[in-house]
Amino acid sequence: MMTVAASRALANDTACFVGIGLPSKASNLARRTHAPGLVLIYESGTIGAKPATLPLSIGDGILAETADSVVSVPEIFNYWLQPGRIDIGFLGAAQLDRFGNINTTVIGDYDDPKVRLPGAGGAPEIAASCGEVIVVVRQTARSFVPELDFVTSLGYGRGAGDRERLGVRGRGPTMVITDHGVLEPDPGTRELTLTRVHPGVTAEEARAATGWELAVADDLDTSPEPTATELEVLRALEAATAEAVESTPSAPGVRT
């Protein structure tokens, strides 16, 4: 349901900065269903990739082979992301707070961490410079925390006006999609508010999976069930990907 909900959030003819995993799956599903004109941009420098199967890393050869253009890493960040040419960025999170700030750096103290996470990657500038950001993350009381151990990527800071004060140009996280439902920033305070639950999930369950007092919209909505087409396309994509992984040669050999 997370994948389908994320896919539906992508409008046709927009440019999307895609990460591996769920964002890649969701955007490839969108391109095969309601958004054939979606432009997939991966941080390895592939612009307009149209992979037949899901890539297993952001720089898989299938992305380069099917892209409209392949550019260097400085170019993808400086020419394409930084000026705001990319409509939507997709981010994951190890920890997220009520203002959509994201931690992917450490759990615990920075100098003596309990868990060392991969770090920033492209996320700080994706969070700042994409037109808007969609965060996809599983909702648990451990990941949805009152206070981040480290702010890797900016959401709304401490609330309304912080992004503007910092001179950050993108709108910030407009949607947080979880396994429970969808959270959106309150138009006034920018605090994330539960606006939708997925079928079979209650607001109480979403509250229990949140480490702060979760705000719930008065007109709480329910996500529509995945359609037969969405499920069919998604399963076909997963099957084709599994088959491609199976047939990967295990050792290098010159391909002629």
Partner 1 sequence: MAQITSLSEGVAELVGDGDTVALEGFTHLIPVAAGHELIRQRRRDLTLVRMTPDIVYDQLIGAGCARRLVFSWGGNPGVGSLHRFRDAVEHDWPRPLELEEHSHAGMANRYVAGASGLPFAVLRGYSGTDLAAHTDTIATVACPFTGEEVTAVPAINPDVGIVHAQRADRDGNVQLWGITGIQKEVVLASDRSLVTVEEVVDRFERVTGDLVLPSWAMTAVAPVPGGAHPSYAQDYYDRDNQAYVAWDAISRDRSTFGDWLRDELGVSLDDEPAGERGER
Q: Are strands 88-91 and 132-136 parallel, antiparallel or unpaired?
A: parallel
> Residue 205 — φ and ψ, nearest 5°?
-65, -40
CB 89 within 8 A of CB 122: no
Please, what is the minimum distance in Å from the beta carbon of residue 146 to partner 1? 16
Q: CA-CA distances (angstroms) from residue 104 to 47, 91, 133, 144, 148?
A: 25, 10, 16, 13, 10
* 61 contacts partner 1 (rule: CB under 8 A): yes
Is 43 annotated in the active site? Answer: yes
Does the protein bind partner 1 through residue 153 (CB under 8 A)? Answer: yes
Number of residues that bind partner 1 (CB under 8 A): 63
- Is position 249 an interface residue for partner 1 (rule: CB under 8 A)? yes
Q: Is 240 an interacting residue with respect to partner 1 (CB under 8 A)?
A: no
Determine the 3-state secondary structure of 42 from DSSP.
Answer: strand
* Sign of the four-CA dihedral 171, 9, 6, 64: negative
Helix (H, G, I), strand (E, B) or coil at 98: coil
**Residue for token digits 């297993």?**
56
Q: Which of 43, 125, 191, 230 is catalytic?
A: 43
Span of 2-10, 40-48, 139-147, 222-230 interacting with partner 1 by CB under 8 A: 40-48
CA of residue 55 relative to chain centroid, distance: 16
105 binds partner 1 (CB under 8 A): yes
Least separation in angstroms between residue 63's CB and partner 1 is 8
Among 151, 216, 217, 220, binds partner 1 (CB under 8 A): 151
Q: Mind telling me the catalytic residues?
A: 43
- Residues engaged in binding partner 1 (CB under 8 A): 20-21, 43-46, 55-61, 63-65, 70, 72-74, 77-78, 81-82, 101, 105, 110, 113-125, 128-129, 150-154, 157, 162-163, 166-169, 245, 248-255
